[in-house]
Structure 1
């Protein structure tokens, strides 16, 4: 066995439900703008996911919609109707045929839903928001507060998406509670200004994501699938003065530790980013979160890890049990294989615009890539364009 295979990177890990993952490498969920308009699998999507899971332990899909008014991306895959089941089955099979565990990320955009692609439905969030601009700087219509009945319906929708994922043969789901989408909006004092049981105090602001988690766990139990993996993804802080702090995140983690979860996944722009407020600002967010978890379940960390050495250093930090890569897999569909085979010198760290055949992008994603936005990989010969709303 080569030295490459001896590193923790290629050690198996057994979750608390007895499921073994073959190594510590994870494909992070990546928006690809490639599904058909109805949320079913397209040929472009088959190409995109068709060779990116090999030699990874886990492959987490692009954010997959649980209710139509929450659509935040053109070409977003869907999991809220029986009509989506065949595509979900094929997606799971494509990933599993490459040897990785297939994890369906389930999602609702909340106020970040895009007006032009939600079929004239109201945009909804924890609280009313005026018209303005969305996260991408586009004009955005006003958002209205969810009613209590609608909140209950959305909790059930996450359960329904989990039911579809289990029936489709996925190995697990990841609850998308990060990146400013609906679950995070409920946790945030900035976006959640409700005065009922779903807002106000911190415990009330946590109520919705925890109810969603319970609905997902109940769907798993209804199928008798102890071997089904459930993860939760979160963004640990927000920049707004009344936004999420590390204290809020610790409270959420403490509550999630009481649930039958298999992992926590922290979304970060920079793996080594230090806490902003609500904790020791001299320490990294991942270090603090890992300490707070206290071994209840493993932690997945992500954040501009581009090379094999980047991944090894991340795992050697002791802050995470798994390292996730997104941009690196956009650039190198065979990223894990190159490490496994000792061909690390072949790993590229930027997109070559002359090698369109290499990347398997859908047309829209490729046009975005050529604009060199900061949320996509570096483009050879170009400086980064716009930054995300909160680079975290």
Structure 2
């Protein structure tokens, strides 16, 4: 191994007591490949097994905590005890390769396609349609959740954490990013409520913080061994009004006080700069690390392909680096660096390598038919 990359291979201990063997994480990525009934498919098990050998931790694609939160065709569920055997297959496949297995849990809120949820009932913090990025093209206007329904969804996140424990996962990641329900409560665009869950930033944070509390309470009650609880967030939104860096600093300050194992920033580009809400020209990642890095480990992500990309990212002080698209392009990234073969790392997708890379058909079709998503070798 080239000595300059030794930092990638230092172990890291989480507050929960779980140790990672290295600093490289597989980022959560939707793969559209689960069975119709919400169970994990054989193709998904093979896909994760192929990528779990080398990384310290695998964070799965998001699992919906309730049928009304299903955000994608081919998404697996954690919404009932019937799903535990399916989830157990996935956890076992990851752990057999030597990585820690973390289940990402989520509710899509106003971003779900109406045809995927019972009775087409699309819900959110308020009856405000998404301005952009809805998978259905024309975004439906959601129904505002009642207080009772909000409390029920909070409990659903706790129940999904319990199922993850029973299925043998090492942890859960609460998906508060990418415009989904938890973020919809934080955002002044999607949250126009006038009760205890809306208005001030403190009230808009009530829902995500209640979910964190519920999940941690569930872990304390049900986990016999150490169990990771992490939280993923998107630092800003393009909408006006929308989440600003100022809002994000309030969010991460509150999360850092919750004794979480890690915070995971969701970005397409690691070095992206703030849009508004703070007078600072540094990257969002550097600002976040400085703000809370001393209290909770931060996972950085975003267009990291080569070993040099990862080294530069870690130079910011970020202790953990997540690879998403790159681990689809080259599942052997970690072993190549460990063996001093970093110059053999593939950083563009080989169009003819689907079977070699063990990528399920629905995900492969989405990749090759979405220009600009992946760097592709023509």
Distance 2:130 2:25 in 1: 38
Moved more, 172-181 or 41-50: 41-50
Q: Give the TM-score of the pair, scaled to structure 1.
A: 0.93
1:372 positional shift: 3.6
Distance 2:22 2:110 in 1: 37
Distance 1:224 1:30 in 2: 26
Unaligned runs of 5+ in 1: 382-392
Question: Is 2:350 aligned against 1:352?
Answer: yes
Q: Which residue of 1 aligns with 2:376?
A: 379
1:39 positional shift: 1.3
Distance 2:223 2:104 in 1: 21
Moved over 6 A (4+): none
1:352 positional shift: 1.6
Distance 1:130 1:233 in 2: 23
Q: Which residue of 1 aligns with 2:212?
A: 213
Q: Which residue of 2 aligns with 1:99?
A: 98
Unaligned runs of 5+ in 2: none
1:349 positional shift: 1.3
Q: 1:331 aligns with which of 307, 318, 329?
A: 329
1:281 positional shift: 3.3
Distance 2:372 2:226 in 1: 37
Change beyond 3 A, Cα 1:135–1:64: same
Is 1:52–1:329's contact at 8 Å kept on the other side of the alignment?
A: yes
Q: Which aligned pairs between 1:233-252 and structure 2 lie closer than 5 A? A: 233-252=232-251
Distance 1:334 1:6 in 2: 16
Q: Which aligned pairs between 1:174-185 and structure 2 lie closer than 5 A? A: 174-185=173-184
Is 2:349–2:377's contact at 8 Å kept on the other side of the alignment?
A: yes
Q: Which aligned pairs between 1:56-95 and structure 2 lie closer than 5 A? A: 56-95=55-94
Distance 1:20 1:362 in 2: 30
SS of residue paired to 1:52: helix
RMSD: 1.6
Is 2:305–2:326's contact at 8 Å kept on the other side of the alignment?
A: yes
Distance 2:168 2:131 in 1: 41
1:5 positional shift: 8.1
- The count of residues paired between Structure 1 and Structure 2 equals 378
Distance 1:134 1:268 in 2: 15
Distance 2:293 2:375 in 1: 36
Is 1:132–1:142's contact at 8 Å kept on the other side of the alignment?
A: no
Q: Which aligned pairs between 1:31-50 and structure 2 lie closer than 5 A? A: 31-50=30-49
